[in-house]
Amino acid sequence: MSAAGKRVSHESARAHVTGAALYTDDLCGRFPRLLHAWPVTAPHAHALITELDVSPALDVPGVVATLTASDVPGENDTGANRRDEPLFPAEVMYHSQPVAWVLGEDLDAAQRGAARVRADYQPLPAIVTLRDAVARESFHSGPIRLQRGDANEALAASPHSLEGELEIGGQEHFYLETHAAIAWLDESGGVALHSSTQHPSETQEVVARVLGVPRNAVTVECLRMGGAFGGKEVQANPWAAVAALGARKTGRPVRVRLTRALDMALSGKRHPFLARYRVGFDDDGRLLSLLATLYSDAGWSLDLSEPVMGRALFHLDNAYFLPAMRAAGYVSKTHKTSQTAFRGFGAPQGMLLVEEILDRVARRLALAPEVVRERNFYREGQTTHYGQAVKDAGRIPAIWRRLLESSRFAARRAEIDRFNRTHPHRKRGLAITPVKFGISFTATVFNQGGALVLVYRDGSVQVNHGGTEMGQGLFTKIGQIAADALGLPLNAIRLMPTRTDKVPNTSASAASASTDLNGAAVMDACARIRERLAPVAAVMLGCAPEAVCFAGGFVSVKGDDLGRIPFGHVTEAAYRQRIPLFAEGYYRTPEIHFDARLGHGHPFYYFAFGAAATEVEVDGFTGQYKVRRADVLEDVGDSLSPLIDRGQIEGGFVQGLGWLTLEELLWDGEGRVATAGASTYKLPSWSELPEEFHVDFLERATEPGVVMGSKAVGEPPLMLAISAREALRDAIAAYGPGGEIPLASPLTPERVFRAIEDQRAKLCTFASPPTRVVRA
């Protein structure tokens, strides 16, 4: 009878595909006299604003008002972690930064008004590449350090060593729903908003700050998002603030919705990284020492870049024991959009580095990469470089062995080698890589969740909680949890839109922890309600309260279904006895702590594990490739919702594939995002999906201490796509004599082609050796 563990569809699946699902901007029609906002954007990456005259905009028919710094009654700043994001800047910090906004009766009027605004600029030198920022030591912060042992000494004592550099490209979130907010005044003068935000409480906080009002004057609601992927964790706030400011100034509802081109030009992306490293290892390929310096391209403001760098450093080990290591991370300041959270939150960049290193080590020693990887796995009892014991470390080799078997890795390896010997212009490659991903916000305070569960007299239920739905299936899982906790069928539970006036002071729906936190809080609220209903039911059933059982929409004596009473009868009786039918719930993650100064502690409640084996085929004439097959084995604990979990794994893998092999962000010399649309930015589509895709869950993987024994699944699968990059390398190697193969990231077909050319050049004794280094 239980709902948890059942293969139920996403609660909005039907609405998603029929178009019935509403998103923030779809709600416009509910607001008569709605105004539309459009920004005045700066044509420089870095400049002083020497003159700004918005008055000509007001001459345009249909323009109702303009917004500039003088309209801000509170603080002219929307920075989430540092007050470094003026909403109306005096100094332009990235190309296309909004310097003023125009409100019109329709979008056309607002746009025409914005075009009439007179702005003059004094251009300033801009830093638009990461290398330039590093060379000039343009940093927001850093170094952030983690270390274990004496890495220099261990390096000196190592039989072998390597050094190198890896450039890692960023990634555009490309959520289907671009940034959007609608604000209106309520009759008390407070401001209400619909916002496409992963973090309604912070949107509320920032709007209140800009308006100069207490937080109780601002209510933020998020019905659902059409994707977020981290891009709406803090970056929804400025648009909400503009809408709120407009509503306050005009007394009319105001809508902000970025077009795709604006969204790509103005919103932050996954951080590009530059990594420099030295590594020491033994004859067997065991890592003995790692020295690494990471630089992230954070763009113009700090945003979440410190914790993103932190997570990169925490995940430099991926699934491998690093006996000695020393790492430093610098958050670089450039005149670009402010780069932000993106699925994996820095961990993908950290893991990519160690996977790159292990592949080089293997090829240097002429060993199979999968053998070298396996030799370096954590063993039970070992700790990470930040001092946390790797609980269940045994799951890494267990998953590995099972996947090698289920994917027929060895047999396919032999088949591929045969294929490659007989096909000079097409080569196949196969690789397997693991993922170990820490679950919890690394800032301990965020690891809390809240809920408010309302039961009506008829036994129907509304569930409010702090999490937001962005397509990841959180609401589906919460519904399943509440149904089981109250012994009701799924359809008796209604999930309400996320609102700051229902559950306050919530954390962002992020770090893959939303079910762990909010699901546990909902469980807690439901338990309270059950405790209150049990004595009422006990009298009705003539049993002890402890013997009361809630299941399938009925209340009965445990083990005796005959005298069961409908749940609604018990709630009606409880109401008549003046017993409250609603309860709040709360959860805080136990055990976690971290001392940032020492770089030591237990920042993660647990680790999510997984592995993927991927096979590709590469065309030697063009560098085009296809993913022939991907096999994934993921540890999701006891899957709360197998269809949702499978969707997260497939989607995460494909999004990772896009990041590593297709999606290339380019900025021009002026610092303008050159890839500002789907026409120039290649996303994975149907044709890039693995032709064969096997997804399995690790069995008997109950996670004690997490809601219903489940594990987080939102981000970890993204990093499984590293196996595809390594498979491409394997195929490229087959075009030449082997040895180390330097690869940039993303590994686009053009880059694959050049890497093949380099391999072929190695074969040709008359050609000069390749001198070109392939770079991002």
Q: Which residues make up the interface to ligand MOS (CB under 6 A)? A: 198, 230, 233, 341-343, 345, 510-511, 715
Gyration radius of the chain's alpha carbons = 27
Alpha carbon distance 492, 215 (integer Å): 33
> What residue spans of 519-601 are helical by DSSP H?
520-541, 567-576
Residue whose beta carbon is closest to ligand MTE: 714
Which amino acid would we find at residue 506? T
Considering only the stretches 131-139, 424-432, 508-516, 540-548, report the one whose residues sit in contact with ligand MTE under the rule CB under 6 A: 508-516
Tokens 């979990």 label which residue?
A: 645
Which residue, 3 or 721, is less far from ligand MOS as judged by CB? Answer: 721
Partner that binds at residue 514, options ligand MOS, ligand MTE, none, CB closer than 5 to 8 Å by kind? ligand MTE
State in angstroms the smallest separation of the CB of 213 from ligand MTE: 30
State in angstroms the smallest separation of the CB of 631 from ligand MOS: 25
Partner that binds at residue 332, options ligand MOS, ligand MTE, none, CB closer than 5 to 8 Å by kind? none
Could you say whether residue 471 binds ligand MTE (CB under 6 A)? yes
State in angstroms the smallest separation of the CB of 682 from ligand MOS: 22
Which residue, 345 or 667, is less far from ligand MOS as judged by CB? Answer: 345
Which residue, 211 or 474, is less far from ligand MTE as judged by CB? Answer: 474
Considering only the stretches 379-387, 410-418, 438-446, 710-718, report the one whose residues sit in contact with ligand MTE under the rule CB under 6 A: 710-718
Q: What is the 3-state secondary structure (H, E, C) of 247-284?
A: HHHHCCCEEEECCHHHHHHHCCCECCEEEEEEEEECCC
Alpha carbon distance 698, 649 (integer Å): 13
Contact present, 223 and 28 (Cβ < 8 Å): no
Positions 325 through 354 that interact with ligand MTE (CB under 6 A): 343
Q: In degrees rounded to 5, what are phi and psi of residue 328? A: -130, 140
Which residue, 171 or 433, is less far from ligand MOS as judged by CB? Answer: 171
Partner that binds at residue 388, options ligand MOS, ligand MTE, none, CB closer than 5 to 8 Å by kind? none
Helical axes 347-364 vs 305-314, angle rounded to 10°: 30
Which residue, 24 or 76, is less far from ligand MOS as judged by CB? Answer: 24
State in angstroms the smallest separation of the CB of 514 from ligand MOS: 9
Partner that binds at residue 471, options ligand MOS, ligand MTE, none, CB closer than 5 to 8 Å by kind? ligand MTE
Partner that binds at residue 338, options ligand MOS, ligand MTE, none, CB closer than 5 to 8 Å by kind? none
The residues facing 610 across adjacent strands are: 435, 634
Which residue, 169 or 459, is less far from ligand MOS as judged by CB? Answer: 169
- Residue of 663, 715, 726, 757 with catalytic role: 715
Dump the DSSP string for 432-480: EEEEEEEES-SSGGG-EEEEEEEE-TTS-EEEEES---SSSSHHHHHHH
Dump the DSSP string for 204-253: HHHHHHHHT--GGGEEEEE---S--TTTTSSTTHHHHHHHHHHHHHHSS-
- For residues 622 to 661, the per-residue mask of contacts with ligand MTE, x marking binding by CB under 6 A and - elsewhere, is --------------------------x--x----------
Could you say whether residue 515 binds ligand MTE (CB under 6 A)? yes
Positions 215 through 274 that interact with ligand MTE (CB under 6 A): 227-230
Q: Is 133 exposed, middle or buried (0-12, 13-18, 19+ CB in 10 A)?
A: buried
Could you say whether residue 510 binds ligand MTE (CB under 6 A)? yes
Candidates 24, 388, 433, 514; binder of ligand MTE (CB under 6 A) is 514
Candidates 77, 172, 617, 715; binder of ligand MTE (CB under 6 A) is 715
Partner that binds at residue 513, options ligand MOS, ligand MTE, none, CB closer than 5 to 8 Å by kind? ligand MTE
The torsion of the CA quartet 670, 676, 680, 684, rounded to 10 degrees, works out to 130
Q: How far is CA 423 from the centre of its chain?
A: 40
State in angstroms the smallest separation of the CB of 437 from ligand MOS: 11
Per the annotation, the verdict on 715 as an active-site residue is yes
Give residues with Cβ within 8 angstroms of 290, minimum separation 6.
151, 277, 278, 279, 280, 316, 322, 324, 325, 326, 327, 354, 357
Report how many helices (DSSP H) and strands (DSSP E) the chain contains, helices first: 19, 29
β-pair type (118-123, 625-634):
unpaired
State in angstroms the smallest separation of the CB of 236 from ligand MTE: 12
Residues lying near ligand MTE in the complex (CB under 6 A) = 227-230, 343, 470-472, 474, 509-515, 648, 651, 712, 714-715
Catalytic positions are: 715
